[in-house]
């Protein structure tokens, strides 16, 4: 059953995120695809103690449904799974990486080689068009930054996506951490 595999995967990815400094306070959604079925975590789920009640199931190839009210990320993740070959998605709000997206546009490029694509949120853009822009970026690489909003990491499993998020945030913290001045 997808749920029991997903619970194991979500707990492992949660432990990896926690180990690199993400507490349960971060707004984070984890999603896993299995064929045409998918699960995502509910809004405000305590990821380290995820239970069956914290999972929202859906079909990948369907329009909005009543389950969309339980997980804000579900419509976006459903579309991303439909438009890419990824099997796992993490959407989170790492403070260091997001801080860089608020500053100079070129600072984001320093985070990785190749650079992590930066997608501009547009309030007047329909959700499906925004999801298509994010999907295009995810087809080029496993990480996408949405300016001042979120980081999306994709992969074949949640643990590899969690590692990507942790590596990105570690690089961002190195870039954003003030350094003591030294006099020579």
Residue 89's pLDDT is 97
- The separation between CA 49 and the C-alpha centre of its own chain, rounded to angstroms, equals 19
Q: How confident is the model at residue 86 (pLDDT cuts 50, 70, 90)?
A: very high
Residue 127's pLDDT is 79
Who wins on pLDDT, 101 or 160?
A: 160
Q: How far apart are CA 30 and CA 153, in angstroms?
A: 10
| pLDDT at residue 74 tops 70 | yes
Question: In order of start, what are the domains of the chain with their CATH numbers?
Answer: 2-175 (3.40.225.10)
Do 156 and 32 touch, CB atoms closer than 8 A?
no
| pLDDT at residue 136 tops 50 | yes
Q: How far apart are CA 51 and CA 73, in angstroms?
A: 18
State the DSSP H helix or E strand holding residue 158, giving kind and residue range, or none if neither. helix 158-176
Residue 137's pLDDT is 93
Which has the closest alpha carbon to 51: 62, 42, 64?
Answer: 42
Strand-strand pairing, 143-146 and 118-119:
parallel
State the DSSP H helix or E strand holding residue 10, giving kind and residue range, or none if neither. helix 2-19
The fraction of the chain above a pLDDT of 70, given in percent, is 85
| pLDDT at residue 18 tops 50 | yes
How does pLDDT run across 114-133, given as a tens digit for each residue? 778 888 887 887 878 889 99
**Cis peptide leading into residue 97 (ω within 30°):** no
- The phi, psi pair for 3, rounded to 5°, reads -60, -45
């Amino acid at each position: 059953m997808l749920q029991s595999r997903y619970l194991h995967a979500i707990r492992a990815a949660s432990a990896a995120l926690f180990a690199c400094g993400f507490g349960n306070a971060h707004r984070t959604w984890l999603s896993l695809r299995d064929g045409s079925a998918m699960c995502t975590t509910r809004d405000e789920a305590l990821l380290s103690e995820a239970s069956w009640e914290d999972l929202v199931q859906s079909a990948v190839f369907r329009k909005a449904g009543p389950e969309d009210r339980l997980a804000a990320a579900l419509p976006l993740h459903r579309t991303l799974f439909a438009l890419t070959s990824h099997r796992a998605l993490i959407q989170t709000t790492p403070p260091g990486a997001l801080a860089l997206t608020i500053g100079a546009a070129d600072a984001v490029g320093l985070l990785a080689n190749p650079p992590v694509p930066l997608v501009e949120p547009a309030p007047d853009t329909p959700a499906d068009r925004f999801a298509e822009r994010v999907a295009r970026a995810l087809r080029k690489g496993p990480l996408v930054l949405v300016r001042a909003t979120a980081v999306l990491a994709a992969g074949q499993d949640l643990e590899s996506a969690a590692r990507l998020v942790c590596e990105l945030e570690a690089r961002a913290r190195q870039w954003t951490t003030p350094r003591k001045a030294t006099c020579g």
